[in-house]
């Protein structure tokens, strides 16, 4: 049952372009008229979800970044305190487990050694309400050993650098958030709005992917650089982290991500014409603050690459490259804004001539500690 990359030059590019379709699969059968079906987590999930008062999310790598986005959603939309941690830290720490804690693992493969060990550790320790695996591989160890599962439906992912597994994890985490809000707070307009936004997501993804050649045009500005900085605020901070990780993994350019408000606490010292700064700027309540952070970068001679909402007043100019994204609901924005960062990393790597699908020193699934 070999997967083919078809007309695409690399699996990674195919998987980036698969995202509209696989997100359709992830949503299939899970959306009602005005809310998400709680039964997506199992026939009698209602009762269990009503008892969730705290959430601990554990993952590694790209999956960890999806968990970081989910924290903002779960706290803002479901009002549930949420902690997110990499598995290799969590498993060796004396974690305090508040009453009613749902333990959530995120994993493409379901076989990552540290994530699996963290799950086994919690099973032994006890005191959790239940464990939930959000996973892409049916029958994987994580799926078999968890109480509940939510499959991401991304299909096989071959490229070592994760792309479609990440965006389908985000979609699944938003579904989980909305199911919790429904069970704990009842129907409301926010859910109706987000259900309708989710229905429109595959279409929106296609529009985002149409930026491909514009992004390819930007890639030359990165290929000869040794460092890059990614900034965002709110849910865009983990998206910046994911953008930096993609660039590191496949182009071997040292990239870091910062919450934009932290720039002046260190990274501004590094900014000069040789370190491109990538900013993700959807139209949310933090846009004004982000804009002043960007001025701080410009004032120090840093070259800016801004992925911004089409309705934001921002001008291209010397040292400011601007790429416009379609207007999007603030809760959906992290999913859409992932796309240009994936494409940027891809095109930079292709220009550099690296092995895009099999980057040096990395493995698709890390099954040893």
Residues binding ligand G6P (CB under 6 A)? 60-63, 107-109, 112, 115, 160-162, 362, 364-366
Residue 195 or residue 241: which is nearer to ligand G6P going by CB? 241
Return the number of the residue (106 or 306) whose C-beta is nearest ligand G6P. Answer: 106
Instruction: Please list, in sequence order, all residues whose beta carbon lies within 8 angstroms of the beta carbon of residue 16, skipping any fewer than 6 positions away.
Output: 163, 164, 209, 339, 342, 343, 346
CB of 252 to ligand G6P, least distance (A): 14
The residue whose Cβ lies closest to ligand G6P is 61
Which lies closer to ligand G6P via its Cβ, residue 12 or residue 228?
12
CB–CB of 42/148 below 8 Å?
A: yes
CB of 19 to ligand G6P, least distance (A): 15
Side by side, the strands of the sheet bearing 320-325 are 254-259, 227-232, 277-281, 304-309, 320-325
Distance CA 86, CA 55 (A): 14
CB of 140 to ligand G6P, least distance (A): 9
If the CB atoms of residues 168 and 219 are measured against ligand G6P, the closer one turns out to be 168
Task: Output 54 or 107, the one with its CB closest to ligand G6P.
Answer: 107
Helix (H) or strand (E) holding 133: strand 130-135
Compute φ and ψ for 71, nearest 5 degrees.
-55, -45
Quick one: 16 exposed, middle or buried, by C-beta within 10 A (0-12, 13-18, 19+)? Answer: buried
Please report where in the chains the tokens 């809760």 appear, as a residue.
Answer: 331
Residues in the chain: 369
Is the Cβ–Cβ distance between 164 and 22 less than 8 Å? yes
Closest separation in Å from C-beta 63 to ligand G6P: 4
Q: Is there a catalytic annotation at residue 364?
A: yes
CB of 5 to ligand G6P, least distance (A): 17
What is the distance between the alpha carbons of residues 310 and 328, in angstroms, rounded to a whole number?
9
Give just the sign of the alpha carbon dihedral 230, 362, 167, 132: negative
Nearer to ligand G6P, 26 or 63 (CB): 63
Output the smallest distance, CB 238 to ligand G6P, in A.
Answer: 13
**Residues annotated as catalytic (active site), given as ranges:** 364
């Amino acid at each position: 049952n070999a997967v083919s990359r078809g007309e695409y030059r690399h699996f990674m590019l195919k998987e980036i372009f698969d995202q509209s379709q696989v997100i359709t699969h992830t949503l299939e059968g899970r959306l009602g008229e005005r809310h998400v079906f709680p039964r997506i987590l199992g026939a009698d999930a209602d009762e269990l979800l009503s008892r969730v008062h705290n959430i601990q999310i554990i993952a590694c790598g790209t999956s960890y970044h999806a968990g970081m986005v989910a924290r903002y959603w779960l706290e803002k939309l479901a009002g549930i305190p949420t902690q997110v941690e990499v598995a290799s830290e969590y498993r060796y720490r004396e974690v305090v487990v508040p009453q009613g804690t749902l333990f959530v693992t995120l994993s493409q493969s379901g076989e990552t050694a540290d994530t699996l060990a963290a799950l086994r550790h919690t099973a032994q320790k006890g005191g959790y309400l239940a464990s939930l695996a959000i996973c892409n591989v049916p029958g994987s160890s994580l799926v078999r050993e968890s109480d509940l599962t939510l499959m991401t439906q991304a299909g096989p992912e071959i490229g070592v650098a994760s792309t479609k597994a990440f965006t389908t994890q985000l979609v699944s985490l938003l579904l989980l958030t909305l199911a919790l809000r429904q069970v704990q707070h009842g129907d409301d307009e926010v859910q109706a709005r987000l259900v309708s936004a989710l229905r429109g997501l595959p279409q929106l993804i296609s529009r985002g992917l149409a930026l491909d050649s514009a992004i390819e045009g930007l890639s030359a500005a990165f290929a000869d650089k040794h460092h890059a900085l990614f900034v965002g605020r709110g849910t865009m901070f983990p998206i910046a982290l994911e953008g930096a990780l993609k660039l590191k993994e496949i182009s071997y350019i040292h990239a870091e991500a910062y919450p934009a408000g932290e720039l002046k606490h260190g990274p501004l010292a590094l900014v000069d014409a040789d370190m491109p700064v990538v900013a993700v700027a959807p139209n949310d309540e933090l846009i004004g603050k982000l804009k002043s952070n960007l001025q701080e970068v410009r004032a120090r001679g840093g070259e800016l690459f801004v992925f911004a909402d089409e309705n934001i007043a921002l001008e291209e100019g010397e040292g400011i490259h601007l790429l416009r994204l379609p207007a999007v609901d603030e809760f959906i924005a992290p999913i859409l804004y992932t796309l240009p960062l994936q494409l940027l990393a891809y095109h930079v790597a292709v220009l550099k001539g690296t092995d895009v699908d099999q980057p040096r020193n990395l493995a698709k699934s890390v099954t040893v500690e």
